[in-house]
Amino acid sequence: MNLDWSTAFHIEWTMPFLLAMLNIVFINIILSGDNAVLIAMAVRGLNKEQRQKGIIFGTAAAVILRIILTFFVAMLLNVPYLKLIGGALILWIATKLFLGEEEGEGGESTATLAQAIKIIIIADLTMSLDNVLGVAGAAGGNMFLLLFGLGLSIPIIIFTSNLISTLMDKYPIIIVIGAAILGRVGGEMMITDPAVEELLHPNAVMEYAVQIVCIVGVVAVGKFLQKRKIAQAEKSGEIHRS
């Protein structure tokens, strides 16, 4: 991203400037949702106190990564295989998080705060690229608008993560939806990788098809592994049905 430092912090309350701010608000609301889903799923195995810490630390990590990525986003988006590897990582994480839906009360399989933050940081490293690109494009080289966009993402991610995390406790179907969303994100990242695009030249139909396959794959594999884990635990007496 190229910044004109002579006008980087220039604030002019004109209609184009206000429209740019409005665009950044909508971009954050739309693109921060994926990060919020990831954070909510990563911390749902923690107790309430640790869960809140995980959301705060995870959000801080996401924002810090976005600040760093802002200055390298144009270069990173053109690195072959980066999005392909990142997308595959998201799919793996989505499936792994799916396995945590049914856990014992003894705490043996419950994720630790450090594990949750590690998952969030690794996944956010690749997931934040689209958000940074969108905000940077809307900012048009204005540092004030760029910082406004980065700052705005903090309350959006925290609020949405808390909301999704709470809903997951009450409605298990939200976990399936969350895994599906991460599956879509992973599929989209993989099919839009520069190396993949050069090889396959995917059109819109192929891109959507890959996303659908990844969504179904993550949910199906996650459910299968989850049921197998529960069956094995019941067999060994680790889980007692009420």
Residue 110: the pLDDT is 46
Distance CA 80, CA 63 (A): 24
Whether 2 has a pLDDT exceeding 60, the answer reads no
Task: Spell out the domain ranges in the chain.
Answer: 15-235
Whether 114 has a pLDDT exceeding 80, the answer reads yes
Residues 174-183: tens digit of each pLDDT:
888 888 888 9
Distance CA 56, CA 49 (A): 11
* pTM of this prediction exceeds 0.85: no
Residues 52-80: tens digit of each pLDDT:
888 888 888 877 887 777 777 666 667 78
Residues 7-20: tens digit of each pLDDT:
545 566 678 778 87
Q: How remote is the C-alpha of 81 from its chain's centroid? A: 19
Average pLDDT, stretch 16-32?
Answer: 77
Min mean pLDDT across 8-17, 43-52, 104-113, 233-242 is at: 104-113
Residue 77: the pLDDT is 64
Q: How does the average pLDDT of the chain come out, rounded?
A: 78
Residue 207: the pLDDT is 93
Average pLDDT, stretch 36-48?
Answer: 83
Residue 213 confidence class, pLDDT cut points 50, 70, 90: very high
Average pLDDT, stretch 85-109?
Answer: 66
3-state secondary structure 1-31: CCCCCCCCCCCCCCHHHHHHHHHHHHHHHHH
Token duo for residue 51? 């869960």
Residue 152: the pLDDT is 82
CB 149, CB 139: distance < 8 Å: yes
Residue 219 confidence class, pLDDT cut points 50, 70, 90: very high
132 vs 170, which has greater pLDDT?
170
Distance CA 39, CA 158 (A): 9
